[in-house]
Structure 1
Amino acid sequence: GDVRNDGDVAAAVAAAVEHFGGIDVVVNNASAIDLSRTDAIDMKRYDLMQDINVRGTFLLSKLALPALRTSNNAHILTLSPPLNLDPKWAGMHLAYTMAKYGMSLTTLGLAEELKNDGVSVNSLWPCTLIDTAAIRNMPGGAQIVQAARGPEIMADAAHAVLTGANLSADSGASASNTGNFYTDEQVLRATGVSDFRPYSLGAPEEKLVPDIFL
């Protein structure tokens, strides 16, 4: 399916409800990336990021709401960063920052809108670069990801959030189960993980590339 196509997303939601009898979890993971500066960005790439990142997140969340409201443990989890308004992030790659922050604003707004509906809405973001196809396809990406962690760390952190792990431990995580902007390390530390070396692709911890927006 294409997250930019209303019919495709509606069909996916309907198929999930028909097959599983409902929806408990929505994960907004689809995202396009282009770190070009403003004078260099192609507007087709700008539109692609807005359509996939922001509109896609909003659309899937919107269409899944009727099913989520009938769940006893409903979650929307979006892979987007904390809303860090340090101007350097917008100044470095404005188009991409706008697209990712649009996803985060969806978390912020839906958490407030749905706070009485029993639907938890949170965001999750990695502390380090993650080895993904999107990064590998960027110029120099094959070399960059050697200093990244594998996607398993995000999977484990997402699982902890979605299964109600105790995230109010001494990790800085909120005791509330909605409206949070978690990092993978924050979540996993709260569940007792202290050694993150198994998640890396071989580079020492001190050589890992920090992710943006933090």
Structure 2
Amino acid sequence: MSTNTKPVALVIGASRGIGRQVAIDLAANGYAVVIAAKSQSTPDPDPSAPFPPDPNSRASTITTVEREIRSAGGEATAIPVDTTDIESINRLVASTISKYKTLNVLIYNPGAIWWASIEDTPTKRYQLMQRVNAEGLYAAVQAALPHLKNSKKGRIIVVSPPIYSRFFRGKTAYAMTKVAMSVLTKGLAMDFVRQGRIDGNMAVTSIWPAASIESAATEQFTRKDPSFARDLRKPTIFSDAILAILRAPPEVVNGELLLDEDFLRSYAGVTDFSKYSVVPGSNPRRIMPARLPDLTVEEQDDEGMRHDSAKERRAKL
């Protein structure tokens, strides 16, 4: 039986890159972290292998991340998951509760990527992105939500983008799956509000990088052109932004589609971002618009009849 008294964070997609950094920094800031992804390695590592491994390589797995955290004095448990399999996600959440008895934070970071036009995106590739990105998130939220509501401060953080037109260009199939994740953030945030107040201190927030972050995905570009590294930031900017979101009151972050740099500047008071540059002295190019559209609209006094399919179904039982 676990004697853990720390808040518990489940980070899905934490084997390398951004997810690994988020898991490590959560542990360093007092969380017990469940590290979840597909990739595992032997619990008894080769003593001649470099440790920690390159965080953007396949040598970095949930097993090595758990070892990194534990070797630094933190609390971590590695649990494998296949985010294309709903039952695997259900088992992950059940194992988390079995181990720690509670769940305070869910972070969903996995991402299947294919950037191409619709014409050049096979349907099977789109289906894979849909399963990993949108459906995997939905299943994780469904499984975790009862436990998050039982905790004193349930938070969900989704790695998905703000909604704006340029994001769709040249990668429509990918954008369809990622924007769906942002729609979940907006919709679930509304579910958390009861009579104008947030129910149970809950909050769900999306976060996206303002400038490119060094990861396994960016290595293909730096291999072709090493100067590309001048436009990269370290993943610590993302984990710092997530920690700031978790510290913020729920009414500040619930339903927000945030950019890491902008939230650190506006809420955490960060003005110098130079420490996040992969190449010292460089000024990574911003890839996000300076201003994003406001998705709210002026509501009618009467928005019409609301229909609840679940309520209607329960009435028939």
TM-score surpassing 0.5?
A: yes
Q: Give the C-alpha shift of residue 142 in structure 1.
A: 6.7
Q: TM-score by structure 2 length?
A: 0.59
8 Å CA contact 1:136–1:145 kept in 2: the answer is: no
Matches within 5 A, 1:113-192: 113-116=191-194, 117-118=199-200, 119-137=202-220, 143=226, 144-164=228-248, 176-189=252-265, 190-192=267-269
Unaligned runs of 5+ in 2: 1-80, 293-317
CA distance in 2, matches of 1:31, 1:140: 21
8 Å CA contact 2:230–2:282 kept in 1: the answer is: no
Which of the pair is proportionally richer in helix? 1
Q: Give the C-alpha shift of residue 101 in structure 1.
A: 0.3
1:72 counterpart letter in structure 2: K
Matches within 5 A, 1:12-31: 12-31=92-111
Q: What is the aligned-residue RMSD (CA, Å)?
A: 2.2
Q: Structure 1 residues 140 and 109, CA, compared in 2 at 3 Å: closer, same or farther?
A: farther
Q: Structure 1 residues 104 and 14, CA, compared in 2 at 3 Å: closer, same or farther?
A: same
CA distance in 2, matches of 1:55, 1:110: 15
Aligned residue for 1:2?
A: 82
Aligned residue for 1:171?
A: none
CA distance in 2, matches of 1:40, 1:205: 35
Aligned residue for 2:270?
A: 193
CA distance in 1, matches of 2:213, 2:255: 24
Look at both structures and tell me which one has the larger radius of gyration over its CA atoms.
Answer: 2
CA distance in 2, matches of 1:31, 1:111: 22
1:56 counterpart letter in structure 2: G
Matches within 5 A, 1:30-179: 30-84=110-164, 86=165, 88-116=166-194, 117-118=199-200, 119-137=202-220, 143=226, 144-164=228-248, 176-179=252-255
8 Å CA contact 1:148–1:203 kept in 2: the answer is: no
8 Å CA contact 1:157–1:187 kept in 2: the answer is: yes
Q: TM-score by structure 1 length?
A: 0.86
CA distance in 2, matches of 1:212, 1:13: 33
1:197 counterpart letter in structure 2: S
1:21 counterpart letter in structure 2: K
What is the aligned residue count? Answer: 203
Of stretches 112-121 and 190-199 in structure 1, the one that deviates more from structure 2 is 112-121
CA distance in 1, matches of 2:279, 2:221: 21
Q: Structure 1 residues 50 and 212, CA, compared in 2 at 3 Å: closer, same or farther?
A: farther
8 Å CA contact 2:190–2:255 kept in 1: the answer is: yes
Of stretches 175-184 and 92-101 in structure 1, the one that deviates more from structure 2 is 175-184
SS at match of 2:155: strand
Q: Give the C-alpha shift of residue 8 in structure 1.
A: 1.1
Q: Structure 1 residues 10 and 175, CA, compared in 2 at 3 Å: closer, same or farther?
A: closer
Identity, in percent, stands at 31
Unaligned runs of 5+ in 1: 166-173
Q: Give the C-alpha shift of residue 176 in structure 1.
A: 3.0
Q: Structure 1 residues 49 and 99, CA, compared in 2 at 3 Å: closer, same or farther?
A: same
8 Å CA contact 2:232–2:278 kept in 1: the answer is: yes
Q: Structure 1 residues 56 and 149, CA, compared in 2 at 3 Å: closer, same or farther?
A: same
SS at match of 1:133: coil
